[in-house]
Amino acid sequence: MSQKKLISRLRRLLEEIERYETDGEAARAVMKVYWTAGKDVHTYTRETGEIIKNIAHLAGVAKGTLEKYVRFYRQYPGGYREDIDGCPLKWSHYAALLYAGDKKVREFYLQNTALHGWSSHELRRRMRNNFYENTAVQGQKSKGGTKLKMITQRLYTYAADVLKVTDGDTFFLNIDVGFYTKMEHKVRLRGINCPEKGTKKGEEAKAFVEKELAAKIVVIRSYKSMTEKFGRYLVDLWYLPGETDKERILAEGRWLNQVLLDKGLAHKVE
């Protein structure tokens, strides 16, 4: 698909929403349009390497809005559901879950939305109150220990290049902070501790992380008031071997903090 054809198709898709007369028709149309738009942009950017910002400008759509459509498609590439057991799901429900975590977390919230008939406002409130963590994660045991609680507040998310793995839970990263600027920072994984460097387990953890992050491109989230006394930023880190796209890594990648717990290479700390 050429750029001209893509832009024309995007504009036509977005204009379709206005043609529906009933709320039910409009709700279904919105999801179909956004998912299709996300699919088209995803396919085009993968094939051409063009950035979403350029496409959004030409189509007259906000960059952040178009990124949401792409993320929606990437999270449900095989198609989304309009309802679960007869309970309708709206775009506002899916939009609330775009940054909620992995596939398991999103499915948990969708099922509970249908079961309890939550509005998108109620869904967001439940997410802010860590409903998933409180009912589905706490107390469960994984192969390597207790599940780490994922913070759902989304403050600062960056793509970064891995410069050096100091030990299993500490790294030097070259972080893309936007505006064509990168900054080197020492960061530490939130919520876990790996064994000391120089010990057998510590070296095993470091070697594992070096192998897992061989692709060098990762995505991190840092959170307010989470800088420890040594000045290193506490972060959650996602990676997806062979992938460089920030949104795809965050949507489909592996959460290194939890992976290390599952492998028995780290223990949970408060």
Tell me whether residue 145 is in a domain.
no
Examine the domain organization and report whether 163 and 256 are in the same domain.
yes
Using CA of residue 199, residue 202, residue 206, residue 211, what is the dihedral sign? positive
Is residue 203 a part of any domain in this protein?
yes
pLDDT band at 115 (very low <50, low <70, confident <90, very high): confident
In a domain, 149, yes or no: no
Q: Are residues 71 and 133 in the same domain?
A: no
Q: What is the pLDDT of residue 35?
A: 94
More confident residue, 35 or 128: 35
| Domain-embedded: residue 126 | yes
Q: Are residues 174 and 221 in the same domain?
A: yes
For residue range 25-60, what is the model confidence (pLDDT) as tens digits? 677 788 899 999 999 999 999 888 888 889 999 988
Which of 53, 80, 107 is a domain's end point? Answer: 80
Are 179 and 190 within one domain?
A: yes
Q: Is residue 30 part of a domain?
A: yes
Domain extent, residue 223, equals 156-268
Tally of domains in the chain: 3
Determine the Cα–Cα distance for residues 239 and 9; give it in Å rounded to an integer.
Answer: 32
- In this prediction, residues 152-176 reach a mean pLDDT of 84
Residue 230 has pLDDT above 50, yes or no: no
**In this structure, are 263 and 162 located in the same domain?**
yes
The answer as to whether 236 is a domain residue is yes
Highest mean pLDDT range out of 13-17, 69-73, 244-248?
A: 69-73
- CATH code of the domain in which 261 resides: 2.40.50.90
Among 80, 96, 121, the domain-final residue is 80
- Asked whether residue 55 is assigned to any structural domain, the reply reads yes
Do 88 and 72 belong to one domain? no
**Does residue 13 sit in the same domain as residue 73?**
yes
- Contacting residues for 46 by C-beta, under 8 A, at least 6 apart: none
Q: How far is CA 64 from CA 8, 26, 55, 74, 179, in A?
A: 19, 22, 12, 15, 16
Positive or negative, the CA dihedral 73, 74, 77, 82 is negative
- Position 23 in a domain: yes
pLDDT band, residue 146 (cuts 50/70/90): low
For residue 155, what pLDDT is reported? 56
Buried b (16+ CB within 10 A) or exposed e, 164-190: ebbbbbbbbbebbeeeeeeeebebbbb
Tell me if 69 sits within 8 A of 43, measured CB to CB: no
Model confidence at 154: pLDDT above 50: no
Whether residues 57 and 93 share a domain: the answer is no
Same domain, 25 and 88: no
What is the pLDDT, as a whole number, of residue 117?
Answer: 86
What does the alpha-carbon distance between residue 206 and residue 31 come to, in Å, rounded to a whole number? 44
Question: Which band of pLDDT confidence, cut at 50, 70 and 90, is reported for residue 23?
Answer: low
The region of weakest confidence among 37-51, 141-155, 207-221, 238-252 is 141-155
- The residue out of 103, 138, 173 marking a domain boundary is 138
| Helices 63-75 + 23-48 axis angle, to 10 | 90
For residues 58 and 95, membership in a common domain is answered with no
**What was the pLDDT predicted at 224?**
44
Identify whether residues 76 and 87 lie together within a single domain: no
Percent above pLDDT 70 for the chain: 84
In contact, 192 and 258? CB cutoff 8 Å? no
Residues 230 and 200 in one domain: yes
Distance of CA 174 to the CA centre of its chain: 20
**Confidence band, pLDDT 50/70/90 cuts, at residue 214:** confident
